[in-house]
Amino acid sequence: MLLRTLNDAQLTYCTNVHPGETLAEVRALLERHVTAVKAAVAPAGARFGVGLRLAAAAADELDSTEQLALFKAELDAAGLYCFTLNGFPYGAFHGTRVKENVYLPDWRDPERVRYTQVLCRVLGELLPLGVAGSISTVPGCFKPNANGALAERQMANAMIDVVAMLVDIARSKGRQIALALEPEPECFLETTEEALRFFEERLFSREARQRLIDVADVEPTEAERILRRHLGVCLDACHAAVEFESPLEAFRRLQGAGISVPKVQISAGLKLSHATPERLAALGAFAEGVYLHQTVVNDGAGLHRYLDLPQALAARHAASAEWRVHFHVPIFLRELGVFESTQAELVPLLQELARLPDCPHLEVETYTWDVLPEAFRNVPVDEAIARELHFVLETLERALITDRA
């Protein structure tokens, strides 16, 4: 029996919350952390799905028949299985300055293609038969590097070359895997509108269909359907909320346009209304040196975007302005001292997903645990993750009970 949510979706959390760049470190975090979370949330006898983050170093070590067979056996022995990979961060992701380097190599670089194809091969072996797979990835590139139509075409072609491998895996192994681009503030794909445009104008275009026909030997009448099956969006609820988008409306717009959402990253960011000097001073505790904390301020006249929190704090905005900060906080916290989280924006999306017969993968992602101000991480990380997963299950269950009442 596999651990699923009430509507038969796969539910997990992303292991990018734990440090681990090498295969040995991945094995250690599985043994130390993932099994502890499984014990806290999985019914007796259930297998627990892993949302595995594999850096390039670990993925390359795993990319052999012998290592994959051994790793899969280790997962089986621990009552674990893998259905989704986080292929966004390529290199070091903890304990060092990450910031804008998290987008490198981007989809203009052949190394991004090579790395993602390794992840495809790995997941093609680890994925249980009959379970759909997903790989989340960089939404193109860092926005300042998105320099025109040539770069867009280059990135689209690179993504289609990965789809060609996914087509081969589906044919040879019977495993269906989707590549899911994850829109994020200050990236090439930042908003839902930008994602809609890129998919329709580039990824599902006649040029894209022809490239897939050429590189994957698919029937011309099947090319668009195959592209739509293997390419989609990873909807991160925190990212959408930081952009002052409703995650639920973003999901509906993507679905309405025929763009699949193979994975939803269940996350919440920081929200600050009425930015008094005292609250802004307290917000400075979240301006740390490892990750980018893109900030969007709505002053009533429009949205003002900042690459990182210190830049936003240095600007002047009216006290009536509302702030949204890309800092993933535990989803079970509605309030963090004088701040709110975007939990209120997340819950309607979960309620809608609870009612769907074909739900995306659900992956809790609070990777910033190590840099969260200490006042908000006063429990062990495994306990916090278990609380997040229980929060998701309880929210889904309440939605279904309400429907039945």
Average of pLDDT values for 141-162?
Answer: 96
226, 163 contact by CB (below 8 A): yes
Q: Which residue has the tokens 């991004």?
A: 112
284-308: buried (b, 16+ CB within 10 Å) or exposed (e) per residue? Answer: eebbbebbbbbbbbbeeeeeebbbb
Q: What is the pLDDT of residues 44-81, one digit of tens each?
A: 888 999 999 999 999 999 999 999 999 999 999 999 99
What are the tens digits of pLDDT across the range 167-225?
Answer: 999 999 999 999 999 999 999 999 999 999 999 999 999 999 999 999 999 999 999 99
* pLDDT, the chain, mean: 95
pLDDT > 50? residue 237: yes
Q: Which residues contact 63 (CB under 8 A, 6 or more apart)?
A: 118, 121, 122
pLDDT band at residue 8 using 50, 70 and 90 as cut-offs: low
The answer to whether residue 9 scores a pLDDT higher than 80 is no
The pLDDT assigned to 276 comes to 87
Say if residues 165 and 171 touch (Cβ distance below 8 Å).
no
Least confident of 260-264, 298-302, 318-322: 318-322
Give residue 275's pLDDT band: very low, low, confident or very high (50, 70, 90). confident
Name the burial class of residue 371, with classes exposed (0-12), middle (13-18) and buried (19+) by CB atoms within 10 angstroms of its CB.
middle
135-142: average pLDDT: 98
Q: What is the pLDDT of residues 292-315, one digit of tens each?
A: 999 999 998 999 999 999 999 999
Lowest mean pLDDT among 15-24, 47-56, 133-142, 315-324: 315-324
Amino acid 4: pLDDT: 57
Question: Lowest-confidence range among 124-128, 147-151, 226-230, 233-237?
Answer: 147-151
Q: pLDDT grade, residue 3 (50/70/90)?
A: low
Claim: this prediction has a pTM higher than 0.85: yes
Q: Which residues contact 149 (CB under 8 A, 6 or more apart)?
A: none
- The residue among 91 and 147 whose pLDDT is bigger is 91
Task: Look at residue 317 in the predicted model and tell me its pLDDT.
Answer: 86
Domains in the chain, start-ordered, CATH in brackets?
11-267+341-404 (3.20.20.150)
The most confident of the ranges 40-44, 388-392, 401-405 is: 388-392
Give alpha helix (H) positions in 231-380. 237-242, 247-256, 277-283, 309-314, 343-354
Model confidence at 7, in pLDDT bands (50, 70, 90)? low
Give the pLDDT band of residue 109 (cuts 50, 70, 90): very high
* Model confidence band, residue 2 (pLDDT cutoffs 50, 70, 90): very low
**What's the pLDDT score for residue 126?**
98
What pLDDT, on a 0 to 100 scale, did the predictor assign at position 106?
98
What is the average pLDDT across 82-105?
Answer: 97
Residue with tokens 């300042």: 144
> What pLDDT, on the 0 to 100 scale, is given for residue 405?
61
Q: Which of 20, 51, 80 is nearest to 265 (CA)?
A: 51
Across the range 364-373, mean pLDDT stands at 97
1 has a pLDDT exceeding 50: no
Q: Which of 13, 7, 1 is nearest to 263 (CA)?
A: 13
pLDDT computed for residue 5 by the predictor = 62
